A and B are shown apart, each in its own frame.
Chain A
Amino acid sequence: MREITYAEAIREAMSQEMRANQDVFILGEDIGIYGGAFGVTNGMIEEFGPERVRNTPISEAAISGCAVGAAMTGMRPILELQFSDFVTIAMDNIVNQAAKMRYMFGGKAKVPVVIRTPGGSGAGFAAQHSQSLEAWMAHIPGLKVVQPSTPYDAKGLLKAAINDDNPVMFYEHKMLYGVKGDVPEETYEIPLGKADIKKEGKDVTIVATAMMVHKSMEAAKLLEEEGISVEVIDPRTLVPLDEETILHSVRKTGRVIVVYEAVKRGGYGAEIASMIGESDVFDYLDAPIMRLGGRAVPMPYNAFLEQKAVPQVEDIIQACKTIMNK
């Protein structure tokens, strides 16, 4: 199969949907000639023109609300929010408007908007440009939250997000944009709410998201050599969450580690861990549920400190050994 990058996969999904449906358009800061801060929309304005690739002023409040207003009146906008940290200045339109509109109006409005935004650390962008704030959005009823880890997943999930009639927060990871993977040229949809077993194993289940999927896979490979068989599950969407796949795996292995880059305290991994603990699978747990998450610090600038702030491959290996009592 053809290999393309995560960024290219996202662009391809957007372009294919825009070709297929005139109602789909993209708006955001510097997404025109510039091609977006991470180059995701490179070349799109040339194909679709400035009407459908709308370069906006730096006005997160206005453009997020504009996307919501357009969505509720019949368009299917994709808003590129340059960094996911900037959700703070678009928050009203996402949390108070998009998420609640349908419910407040007694089921009348549809808000098919996708807000694509890069999160995560590792680029040396420091505290205001490196956060993983997806748990905030997962907390809000009325929002769907997607977090793809591979080019294949990104393309299929973005198509599903664009075609979903609800507001979808689509969290990309800035360090994954350059990662390559097999992606079919034709369009395909990965339903929201379907986890993926990235690797099968029998001793420990790791539930990991975004960049942590890759770190967990690396750890799993090294652990295999030591005789520890790790199953890696990527939920891919946080809301709705595929509880069944996770629980099925934990029932099998009896041990689970939830690995996420966001600050551990109050992160979405806490939700996954609680979900497992509350389920019938509790009786199959053969060790306490573990979480590996980011340290509770604003993301530091220094590369060494930045690495130390979020789980690394060695941390995951160590956690697996601890949970295996080895």
Chain B
Amino acid sequence: MFKTGKNHLFSQEQLRKMLYEMLLIRRFEEKVEQLFQQGKIHGTMHLCIGQEATAVGACAILTNEDKIISTHRGHGHCIAKGTEVDRMMAELLGKATGYCKGKGGSMHIADLDKGNLGANGIVAGGLPLATGAALTSKMKELGYVVVCFFGDGSTNEGAFHESLNLASIWNLPVIFFCENNQYAMSGSIKEMTNIQHIAERAASYGIPGEIVDGNDLLAVAEVTKKAVERARNGEGATLIEAKTYRWRGHSRSDARKYRTRDEEKEWKTTKDPIALFKNKLVEENMLTEEIFLEIEEQVKKEIEAAVEFAENSPIPGEETLETDIFA
């Protein structure tokens, strides 16, 4: 059913970099969770632990000029697109040095210079915006593509359907990348949709629909590459459905009563995207345990530095309250 990834796209260096990024995402999320428990982060946050392969696999194909639009569960997308973790951490701590000067927080991290058009707190909010960003590329002949991430929950919003239709009729260079992590908050996709695969919906709009194992980094990269090439060649939009799993609850206040611990255990033990990828690299002699430990150590240092930077940063002054409203 799933396409299995083979390595014919990346060098050893690139592969190790992808492993590094997946680990960086996971450790970042774990640190955020810890800081939240310590009361250093307020508000809420949505962790993408278990979904690292979709973000890293898709972004590995993109250039700096290509755009992504992310979701409320967006830390992974940001890191995979090159957003720096120190300023991300500062943003989560509400500091003036954060990507949004402490005004956006977890759900609104944007880094326009790196092609990150922003996380979005509205379910399916990013899809219409992605069509617009893709329209700019087309009208100004800029050559970039737009990858719009969204969850399974978004696919029952009107904006999903309207956007796929618009992108299709205007032949826009956009990849609609659905991370089907099985749950829209508490709502299981099996209860909320009467079709087996979300990708089937592509047929309604006359665009290709691809299904991929979202925990297989190389498979994700491969399917994204195909969609990006289509888009760059002027052949229009693609809908990708990457099947994955959200290890944590929807947000911090989720007791996860709607699913079993056994189910969670199965995904964590047999389908951990990082373990799968690491084992594959070791098998193929691209990685040793020593190098893996070195990577782990580097990641740890980067996270520690990020926390230090964030904690030592000032909070925004009241004089910034009413700035940045209008250009």
Contact = CB atoms under 8 A, between A and B. Distances in A.
Q: Do chains A and B touch in the complex (CB under 8 A)?
A: yes
Interface of A: 23, 25, 51-52, 54, 56-57, 59, 61-75, 77, 92-93, 96-97, 101-112, 141-142, 144, 165-166
A64 B325 contact: no
B55 to A, nearest CB: 20
Interface in B152-197: 158-159, 162-163, 165-166, 169-170
Contact of B324 (A52, A62, A75, A102): A102
B129 A69 contact: yes
A109 B325 contact: no
A173 to B, nearest CB: 25
B165 A73 contact: no
Contact of A104 (B100, B134, B162): B100
A70 B137 CA distance: 9
A65 B127 contact: yes
A141 B325 contact: yes
Contact of A70 (B98, B112, B135): B135
Nearest to A144: B326
B88 to A, nearest CB: 12
A65 B131 contact: yes
A70 B159 contact: no
B162 A73 contact: no
18 contacts: A52-B139, A57-B165, A59-B162, A62-B162, A66-B131, A66-B163, A66-B166, A69-B128, A72-B133, A73-B133, A74-B136, A93-B128, A97-B122, A97-B129, A106-B103, A107-B324, A111-B327, A142-B325
B243 interface: no
Given A56-B166, A57-B169, A97-B125, A142 B132 contact: no
B101 interface: yes
A110 B327 contact: yes
A105 B159 contact: no
Contacts, number: 146
B46 interface: no
Interface residues of B, number: 44
Contact of A108 (B102, B110, B139, B163): B110
For the complex of A and B, list the 3 residue pairs with the smallest distance between their C-beta atoms, beginning with the closest. Answer: A65-B128, A69-B132, A62-B162
Given A62-B163, A63-B162, A103-B103, 6 more contacts: A66-B135, A75-B135, A97-B122, A102-B326, A102-B327, A104-B104
B117 interface: yes
Given A106-B324, A141-B325, A62 B128 contact: yes
Interface of B: 67, 69, 98-104, 108, 110, 112, 117-118, 120-122, 125, 127-137, 139-140, 158-159, 162-163, 165-166, 169-170, 323-327
A65 B129 contact: yes
B115 to A, nearest CB: 10
A124 to B, nearest CB: 30
A313 B197 CA distance: 61
A73 B174 CA distance: 14
Nearest to A74: B136
Contacts of B67: 73
A59 B133 contact: no
Contact of A105 (B100, B130, B165): B100
A105 B325 CA distance: 10
Contacts of A69: 69, 117, 128-136
B159 A61 contact: yes
Nearest to B110: A105
Given A62-B165, A65-B131, A70-B136, A107 B323 contact: yes
Nearest to B144: A73
Contacts of A77: 132
Nearest to B137: A73
A90 B140 CA distance: 25
A96 B128 CA distance: 13
A57 B133 CA distance: 18
Contacts of A111: 327
Residue of B170, B323, B325 with most partner-chain A CB within 10 A: B325
A111 B110 CA distance: 14
Nearest to A64: B128
Contact of B104 (A61, A74, A106, A166): A106
A96 B108 CA distance: 12
Contacts of A57: 162, 165-166, 169
From A23, A69, A105, residue with most partner B Cβ within 10 Å: A69
A102 B118 CA distance: 11
A145 to B, nearest CB: 12
Contact of B118 (A23, A71, A104, A141): A104
